[in-house]
Amino acid sequence: MESAQQLDGLYVPALYDDLYNKDNTFKALKAKPGLPHRVKRASVTDLSRFRTRSTIMTPHTTFDRTFLIEVSRGCPHGCRFCAAGYVYRPPRFRPPGDLADCIREEKLSAAKIGLVGAAVSDLPGLEALCSTISGDGTEVSFSSLRADALTDGLLTQLKQNRVKTATIAPDAGSERMRVCINKGLSEKDILNAASKLVAAGIPNLKLYFMIGLPFETMQDIDAIIALCKNIKRAFLESSREKGRMGQITVSLSPFVPKPHTPFQWAPMEKVPVLKKKIKRIKQALGNVPNLTVQADVPRWAYIQALFSRGDRRVADILLAGRDHQWNWAKTFKSSDIDPDFYVHRRRDELEVFPWDFIDHGIRKSFLLTEYKKAQKGKRTRECNPDTCSLCGACPPPSQP
Ligand code: SF4
């Protein structure tokens, strides 16, 4: 109890009671006397104080001989669907010198260095860091790169590191939809990136898209198809010069609304509609040579959405799931709780959310404004923690 009173970031569920309205919506989380009503997130301002990197190297993991090092936390781009982009605000980067020292000390045990972060391509000094690593004969890999960040130097690094597949995440097919999600990538950026990657000798391309985004129409789905065909064309032209054609993999994920994001008010798209959208894309791209389409299962996205935005009562569904050996059809049938209430309901602007008690420093009113801007097709600028206090996560700039 004392620790929960004194330490930021400590939440003891048993010391808080959940209350509900007559219409089943969440009313409040009532703290026992002496406890804070909102639990403040614990956050590190200066990342160089703690090195977060692989501590055990073993062949018995997915990354076996790759030494992973976290280069940044948060992301400055503000994509409206992305939980990591909001809950880890403000964006912070490790000083390149600190990263180089850490890598120098550790890399004897690793064949490859993996740079991890939501915004790896925004890391100041990334190119220089990569050439330090690869100059010593060690490979480097990235968790993801933005299409508009592929400089010549970075492409050289990808080539030197024998990268065979590069991933680009347009996330949506139409310009309208990319503005809606605040992606900040134009079709030109995406096509340029595809051409540049092939020209740099990286044969395969993976493209990530979401379907079922808020305010999405069938025209936006058709725009995914058109964009993939345009990317294939750009890919083909660059490949001709190289004399070989790689593979394009289009990956489709149903959108799941997440807490603490501007889309936390949005309903998730219905499973049959998601299936229809996937089918439409697969049919349209099915005969395109050297291109394959993969899609996540909409029913799994539904389960994810249920547990992403459920309240404490949803724990009963989890227990029932265990009792029914994770047969979800049987589980839902046996439960009094309606999962659609959590997954498909459009939430009222004033609704209290079960996660509102976690204080990430971001104003809920800011998230709502972002949701409304998405609907109106308006962009929000990228983070600049030196001058900005827009969302509340950074202290106000000091007056001269
Ligand atoms: S206050 Fe501004 S710079 Fe800081 S996290 Fe929020 S939007 Fe980004």
d(CA 340, CA 263): 17
Ligand 1 atom showing the smallest separation from residue 385 Cα: 3
| pLDDT on residue 399 | 60
Q: Are residues 13 and 95 in the same domain?
A: no
- Residue 316, amino acid: D
Reading the chain (400 residues) residue by residue, the pLDDT tens digits are 777 777 888 999 999 999 999 999 999 999 999 999 999 999 999 998 888 988 888 888 888 888 899 999 999 999 999 999 999 999 999 998 888 888 887 666 677 888 999 989 999 999 888 888 877 778 888 777 888 988 888 888 888 877 888 889 999 999 999 999 999 999 999 999 988 988 888 889 999 999 999 999 999 999 999 999 999 998 888 777 767 778 999 999 999 999 999 999 999 999 999 999 999 999 999 999 999 999 999 999 999 999 999 999 999 999 999 999 999 999 999 999 999 999 999 999 999 999 999 999 999 999 999 999 999 999 999 999 989 999 999 987 776 5
Question: Is 74 near ligand 1, meaning CB less than 6 Å away?
Answer: no
Which residue range forms the structural domain that includes residue 264? 41-309+353-376
At 137-147, the pLDDT tens digits run 788 887 778 88
d(CA 39, CA 187): 41
3-class secondary-structure state, position 165? strand
- Is 398 a domain residue? no
Question: Is 254 near ligand 1, meaning CB less than 6 Å away?
Answer: no
- Is 386 a domain residue? no
d(CA 71, CA 266): 32
Count of domains observed in the chain: 3
Q: Are residues 53 and 104 in the same domain?
A: yes
Q: Are residues 275 and 292 in the same domain?
A: yes
Tokens of 36: 């804070």
Cα 100 to middle of ligand 1, angstroms? 27
- Is 130 a domain residue? yes
Protein residue with least CA distance to atom 1, ligand 1: 389
Q: Which of 296, 391, 305, 368 is nearest to 74 (CA)?
A: 391
3-class secondary-structure state, position 100? helix
d(CA 331, CA 232): 43
Protein residue with least CA distance to atom 8, ligand 1: 383
How far is residue 191 CA from its own chain's centroid? Answer: 22
Long-range pairs for 41-48: beta carbons < 8 A, 24 or more residues apart: 41/8, 41/9, 41/87, 41/358, 41/359, 41/360, 41/361, 42/7, 42/8, 42/9, 43/361, 44/73, 44/92, 45/92, 46/92, 47/72, 47/73, 47/92, 47/93, 47/94, 48/94, 48/95, 48/98
Q: Are residues 23 and 111 in the same domain?
A: no
Question: Is 390 near ligand 1, meaning CB less than 6 Å away?
Answer: yes
Most informative mutation of 82, 87, 390, 398 for ligand 1 (most atoms within 8 A of CB): 390
Question: What's the Cα-to-Cα distance from 233 to each of 229, 238, 242, rounded to whole Å?
Answer: 6, 9, 14
Kindly give the interhelix angle for 152-160 and 126-135, rounded to the nearest 10 degrees: 30
Cα 313 to middle of ligand 1, angstroms? 34
Whole-angstrom Cα Rg for the chain: 23
Q: Are residues 251 and 328 in the same domain?
A: no
| pLDDT on residue 10 | 92
* Cβ(154)–Cβ(145) below 8 Å: yes
Q: Are residues 92 and 217 in the same domain?
A: yes
- Is 392 a domain residue? no
Q: Are residues 23 and 114 in the same domain?
A: no
3-class secondary-structure state, position 21? coil
* Cβ(261)–Cβ(82) below 8 Å: yes
- Is 56 a domain residue? yes
Q: Are residues 112 and 136 in the same domain?
A: yes
pTM of the model: 0.93
Cα 98 to middle of ligand 1, angstroms? 24
Question: Is 184 near ligand 1, meaning CB less than 6 Å away?
Answer: no
Question: Is 388 near ligand 1, meaning CB less than 6 Å away?
Answer: yes
Cα 396 to middle of ligand 1, angstroms? 10
- Is 382 a domain residue? no
* 351 C-beta neighbours (distance < 10 Å), count: 14
| pLDDT on residue 51 | 86
Q: Are residues 330 and 234 in the same domain?
A: no
Q: Are residues 154 and 16 in the same domain?
A: no
The burial class, CB within 10 Å (0-12 / 13-18 / 19+), for 36 is middle
Residues 6 or more apart whose CB falls under 8 angstroms from that of 39 comprise 8, 9, 10, 11, 357, 358, 359
- Is 183 a domain residue? yes
Q: Which of 137, 50, 139, 55 is nearest to 95 (CA)?
A: 50
| pLDDT on residue 269 | 98
How far is residue 155 CA from its own chain's centroid? Answer: 23
Final residue before a domain boundary, out of 322, 345, 368? 345
Q: Are residues 158 and 20 in the same domain?
A: no
Ligand 1 atom showing the smallest separation from residue 76 Cα: 8
* 116 C-beta neighbours (distance < 10 Å), count: 19
Q: Are residues 192 and 289 in the same domain?
A: yes
- Is 119 a domain residue? yes
